[in-house]
Every structure is written in structure tokens, then in C-alpha cells.
Structure 1
Amino acid sequence: MLTYCVLLLFNSGIAGMKLSWMKRLEIALGSAKGLTYLHELANPPIIHRDIKSNNILLDDHMNAKVADFGLSKLLGDESKGYVSTQVKGTLGYMDPEYYMTQQLTEKSDVYSFGIVLLELLTARSPIYKGKYIVREVKEAMGKAGDPNGIYTILDRSLGSLQTLGGLTKFTSLAMSCVQDSGPDRPKMAEVVRELESIIDLAVLSQDVKSPLTFSSQDTGKVGDLYHHDHLHPYGDSVSDASSLSMPFETELRR
């Protein structure tokens, strides 16, 4: 039975909700595990093709779930490693290599996931005030590619930098996911391992017992993580493979 998720990742219906650094890391890890299941444990493998923040839902316990398989593709011929298909996806999240070649691979999902990671860092949509988030981050990092440069466009609601353990590694991971060439991007299983190590660093630098803060004075306002209030519809399905010792199990609504 499909568990209905009551919270969207960014456009929350709960007024005044702020996602802490640790909670953002947990959301990233949960989503990454879901994609790893689709890519490596599903038979045949599934390429989601529309990974974006509005397709990552949160359940009552704030567990992240990958949703909306309306554009997903089965990787029938695993030896080829790609599916030739008409280009579809969401502007700002779409893999530019897929757009140019019309060859969809698992690394296309990795690129889109990298954009989500950058959203978690900056609280900005992929195209913000006419600027593309990847370009903005690259400019902030400078010619030397210094991940510390992310501080200039970091979401201010995250608070003190001293509490953001693993921030530099997280930034580097996000940028590795949005490399121009698919082969230069990590696999989702590698992303999972890196996020787990980043969470270990974060545990050392902040209190993990208070992942969320709420303000009763903000009743009726949109959640703070995003700067716009356009709500997107829920997807048809959720990925949850807990039966495979992972927090996701794919259930495609027929």
C-alpha cells in the first residue's frame, strides 16, 4: 500500500518550518539511497529522469521519499548503459549532456540530484533571478574552485558556520554531481557513501537532537527554505526499498 507523504521537501505546508543542516543532510542521504535502489537494485534498472526538489517528499517522520515516476525509463539493455529517447525533464534540473545527445543514463539522474544538493545549500531554485545555480556556485568558488566560496551564497537560515560540519565536502560533492560529462560524475552509491561520511562530520559540530524549529508566529506563511510559494503537485509514486535493508521500496501505482 502506498504511504501518502504529507510534506513537500521545500514547499512545506507547515508554516514557519526551518530545516536544519543535519535535517538537510538526512534528506539528501535518504533521497540518494532511493536513487541508488532505482539504479542498482531495481530489475531492470530505472532512470527517474525528473529528479527535482518537488519530487522529493517527506512523510510524517520527515523521511525523504523519491516520487513521481511519470517520466521514468527502464534501462532494458544494461550493456549499452543508456536509453535513446526524446528529451524530457524539468528546466534547470536537466542534464545538459542528455539534452545534447538524447542519450539518457543513470548519470543524468546524478546531475539532477546535484542541483537538488545545491538547492539545499543556497535555498535558491535552479534558475534564480535569471541566473543558473551551477554558474552562481562556480562564480562564488572562483577560478581556484575553492568550495569555501559557497559561504557568499549560503542560505543564511542555516546559522553559524561553526555548526555546519562537512559543508566543504558537501559542496564538493554537489559540484562533482553536476560535472559536464557523465563519466566524470559519481555513481549514486558513491554519493551515498560520501553523504554518510559528511553526516559523521556534522554530528561532531552540532546538536542533532533538534533537527527542526517552528515559529507559531509564522502561521499561514510558506516554509522558509524556498523563496517562492508555488506549490507543485504530488507525484504518483514513492520509492522505498526497506525490504532490501534500505529505506526505500518502489511502489509504482498502476
Structure 2
Amino acid sequence: MQGGLEFKTEIELLSRVHHKNVVSLIGFCFEQAEQMLVYEYIANGTLKENLSGKIGIRLDWLRRLRIALGAARGVQYLHDLANPPIIHRDIKSNNILLDERLNAKVADFGLSKPMVESGRGHVTTQVKGTMGYLDPEYYMTQQLTQKSDVYSFGILLLELLTSRSPIEKGRYIVREVKMAMDTTKAMYNLHGILDPIVASSTSPRSVEKFIDLALRCVQESGIGRPTMSEVVKEIENIMEVAGLNPNAESASISASYEGQSRGFDDPYSDESLFAYSGDYPSSKLGPK
């Protein structure tokens, strides 16, 4: 429904990218104004669906770490190895797909932007993305950089920690975490915000380091955020702290949740605040 430009962009970009953590485009159809993209089949749907419990797969802390690493490697590939480099511009849990072995694959390149303006480090462009994941610096300056994807990825990391949507009942996840955080206490005093599965992790230090990384990614200024290459290395280090080999293949799909859901509110019950993915009007605010 977003039109021919996004359709053409996705075909052009996905025809050039090949990585195990990026969804593969098999073909497309454009006949009688019907626009169809044919992707590889991804058995376990979106990360968003899995975090909400709709799929019935239990994402324990170790599986969440593997998903974070796979998604980070996919975005790093787009930034560092694709030619030209690609800024995804719409990193979110709805655009991370999980295959039959729960390997993460980055999807949906309709809003993506190739970095063809070499040497400048940014692309000046109309603001597009999904509210809640949108880099505030990009929103104010209209200058899109790779660090804009890093910001969105930081929000994704907070979703993996909390199983909450970025904006929920008028509350923004970044602000909620920062307000509740106390680094002198176990798991930074975030037990009330963390998903119970994460809060019960046997490796609290790995959870704390993951929180640290997420908050570095969502620094207001892009200069203060890590690169995706640094994010990948840090997640690999966190996995080792948790006792995982970051280079091992993912295990087969996890067992389903025992019985029905345990009464938690569906974190995605109100999508109206953050689901829109597309253009935003220019901000009237100037950069700080």
C-alpha cells in the first residue's frame, strides 16, 4: 500500500545483499499493478510475535542473546559490507524474523537508504521510520546516519529485555528504564520492568551488561552511540559472560510454553501508538 518507490527500493537492495541474517528475496511480480515480493519462508514469524507469546515459543535469556547477536550481525553487514552501504531505517521487532532454528533475519527494506553520497557520513532525507524507534537526532536534523539504525537497535535490545513495546500507554521505554535504574542494586533494580524470564536469568551480570549496551545505543547524540561492529563484539562478550559460545549454531526450536499464557498483559495490545512505518512531517525543533 506504500507505493511503487518502496517496492522498487526493496527489490534493488535485496538483489544485492546476501547474508544468513538478512532475509533472502526469491522473486517478485509486477503484473496488472499487482506488487508482490517473494521471500524465503521464515517458519517462526516475527520477533514481535514471539515476545508477545503469540507463537508459543519460550524465548529464554540465552535464546534472546542469540537473536540479538544474529540481528546485530545482519545490520552490521548492511552497514559495513554491502556495496553501497545500506541504512535500514526501520529496525524494529516486527522486522526481525526467526527461522526454524530461531536464527534472526533482518527484513523489510522498503524504507532503506543506500549510502551513495560517499564521504559525508549522512544522507539528508525526509524523516521516515516507526515512532518509538525513531532516532531523535535524525528527526530534528533530517540527517540520516548509520547511528540512526543503532538507536533503533537499542530500542530493540530494550524490547528483548522487557518484552514491552517502545511506547506503551503513553510511556516511553527508554525513559522508564532510566528512571527506575539503580546501578548499585542487582540487575540495576529493574526487576519490575524486565520480562520475568529475563529477571530469572542465572547470569545477572550478562543482563546488566546488556542493559548497559542498550542504553549506549540510545544516547541522544549519535556520536555517543557505538557502531554496529562494536555492538556485535559487545553482544559476543555478553554471551561469553552468560556461558554461551557466540559462534555456535542455534539449537533447534525451543519447547512451547507450558499450558496457556500466565496472565501477563499482551505488550502489543495497543499498536496504534507505534505501529506506523512511513513518513513523518519535518520537526520544527532545531538540533541542540
Fold-level match, TM-score > 0.5?
yes
Over 3 Å counting, the alpha-carbon distance change for 1:22 and 1:228 in structure 2 is same
Residues 238-253 of structure 1 aligned to structure 2 (within 5 Å) = none
Equivalent of residue 5 in structure 1, options 10, 18, 42: 42
Structure 2 stretches lacking a partner, 5+ long = 1-25, 27-38, 245-249, 276-288
- Cα–Cα, structure 1 residues 225 and 10, in superposed 2: closer, same or farther, change >3 Å? farther
| C-alpha separation in 2, matches of 1:36 and 1:96 | 21
**Residue 61 of structure 2 aligns with which residue?**
21
Q: 1:101 aligned to 2:141?
A: yes
How many matched pairs? 228
Q: Normalising by the residue count of structure 2, what TM-score does the alignment of the two structures yield?
A: 0.71
Q: Distance in 2 between matches of 1:38 and 1:191?
A: 14
**SS in structure 2 opposite 1:65?**
strand
Q: Deviations over 1:45-76 (max 9, x none)?
A: 00000000000001111110000000000111
Q: Is the 8 A contact 1:32 1:192 kept in 2?
A: yes
Q: Which is helix-richer, 1 or 2?
A: 1
Indicate the residue corresponding to 1:36 in structure 2: 76
2:169 to 121, 129, 138: 129
On the 8 A contact 1:5/1:58 being kept in 2, the answer is yes
Q: How has the CA–CA distance of structure 1 residues 150 and 215 changed in structure 2, closer, same or farther, with 3 Å as cutoff?
A: closer
Give 1:158's match in structure 2, choosing from 185, 198, 204: 198
Deviations 1:99-153 (A, max 9, x none): 0000000000000000000001111100012100000010011598996133331
Identity between Structure 1 and Structure 2 (%): 54
What pairs with 1:38-187 in structure 2 (closer than 5 Å)? Answer: 38-142=78-182, 148-158=188-198, 160-187=200-227
- Could you give the per-residue CA deviations for residues 222-241 of structure 1, whole angstroms, max 9, x where no partner exists? 9x8952358999xxxxxxxx
Matches within 5 A, 1:200-215: 200-203=240-243, 212-215=254-257
CA distance 1:118–1:70, shift in 2 (3 Å) = same
CA drift of 1:160 comes to 2.2
Instruction: Verify the 8 A CA contact 1:147 1:168 in the aligned structure 2.
Output: yes
Unaligned segments of structure 1, at least 5 residues: 234-254
